[in-house]
Amino acid sequence: MSILEVTGLTVTRPDGLRLVDEVTFDVDRAEVVGIVGESGSGKTMTGMALLGLVPEPLTVGGSIRLNGRELATQSQRQWQRTRGREIAMVLQDPSSSLHPMLKLGEQLTDHLRSHLGMRPKAARARALELLEQVHLPDGEDILRRFPHQLSGGMKQRVAIAIALACEPAVLVADEVTTALDANIRVGILRLLDELRRTTGMGIMFITHDLAMLSSFADRVSVFRRGEIVEQASAAELFANPQHPYTHELLDAVPSIPWKMVDLEPVGSPAEGTLDDD
């Protein structure tokens, strides 16, 4: 049974224009579903709808069921309890989700205390466990650091640690590797792949880079102008694409697609170092 079932999802402007138009897909336990398309195709807006983050005056329609429970009709108060606990999101730029003036230890422990009601000592111990889970060395030192003192790859790992804090059933990863160098990018992909296998978390992975999904995603949904124009397993999509737009995307893919097994291991030195400047 799918842990996330999205049926007929719409996001509509006041003038009636649909930014997301009757989108239907599902995510199974420990599965990576790739969401691919050009900028403005509705990928990120779909992700925001899944977390109740679509801004007014846009309206959301359709059904979003998480472990059989309908989310689309929740109140904002209910969304606040669901968001971060049952479904979480990691953004392209980790700096946008990390407070620049607070040490990382404060941010991790505050998140744990506010969502799970942990006492300070237990929250700090859990924060160290999370940093270890995302393969960040010397957690005590990292907790004393400010975000600007970490490399881009390390900041993204901290953002992932925060997203994992409440053990969500589904993680929405929105262009999480776009701003990173190639080797660091692969390290983050390998980390996400490891986490979904060890925790059973489903991942909705939003990207404009179809090549990246060739060895990472289980299934792929191709977005164009707010609609899904093709859905298939990653292997089938690369071997036998059906829609002309999918052909266009594949024509832009490098001749040698991503192969995570051939690149840097999780937590490799390529992830970067602490910045002492």
152 found inside a domain: yes
10 found inside a domain: no
The pLDDT score that the predictor gives to residue 259 is 59
Non-local CB neighbours of 243 within 8 Å, separated by 6+ positions: 222, 229, 230
265 found inside a domain: no
Short-list 185, 168, 171, 159, CA closest to 33: 171
Number of domains making up the chain: 1
For residue 209, the enclosing domain spans 30-51+76-252
Q: Which residue type is seen at 202? A: G
Give the chain's residues under pLDDT 70: 1, 255-277
The pLDDT score that the predictor gives to residue 266 is 45
- 121: domain CATH number is 3.40.50.300
Task: Determine the distance from the C-alpha atom of residue 212 to the mean position of all C-alpha atoms in its chain, rounded to a whole number.
Answer: 14
Going by the DSSP 8-state scheme, the letter that residue 181 receives in this structure is -
Positive or negative torsion for Cα 3, 205, 10, 8: negative
pTM for the complete prediction? 0.91
Q: How far is CA 70 from CA 64, 79, 85, 153, 246, in A?
A: 6, 11, 15, 35, 31
* Residue 6: how many other CB atoms lie within 10 Å: 24
204: left (phi over 0), alpha (psi -120 to 50) or beta: beta
Element (H, E) at 66: strand 59-66
Q: Which residue type is seen at 136? A: L
178 found inside a domain: yes
The pLDDT score that the predictor gives to residue 270 is 41
- Please check whether residue 272 is in contact with residue 158, taking contact to mean a CB–CB distance below 8 angstroms: no
185 found inside a domain: yes
The pLDDT score that the predictor gives to residue 33 is 98
Q: Which residue type is seen at 123? A: A
Which of helix, strand or coil describes residue 118?
coil
262 found inside a domain: no
CA dist 271 and 277 (Å) reads: 18
276 found inside a domain: no
* Phi, psi of 253, deg, nearest 5: -80, 135
Short-list 170, 223, 259, CA closest to 44: 223
The pLDDT score that the predictor gives to residue 255 is 61
Residues in the chain: 277
CA dist 196 and 179 (Å) reads: 22
147 found inside a domain: yes
- For 4-62, write each residue's pLDDT tens digit: 999 999 999 999 999 999 999 999 999 999 999 999 999 999 999 999 999 999 999 99
Task: Determine the distance from the C-alpha atom of residue 5 to the mean position of all C-alpha atoms in its chain, rounded to a whole number.
Answer: 17
- Please check whether residue 187 is in contact with residue 153, taking contact to mean a CB–CB distance below 8 angstroms: yes
The pLDDT score that the predictor gives to residue 181 is 86
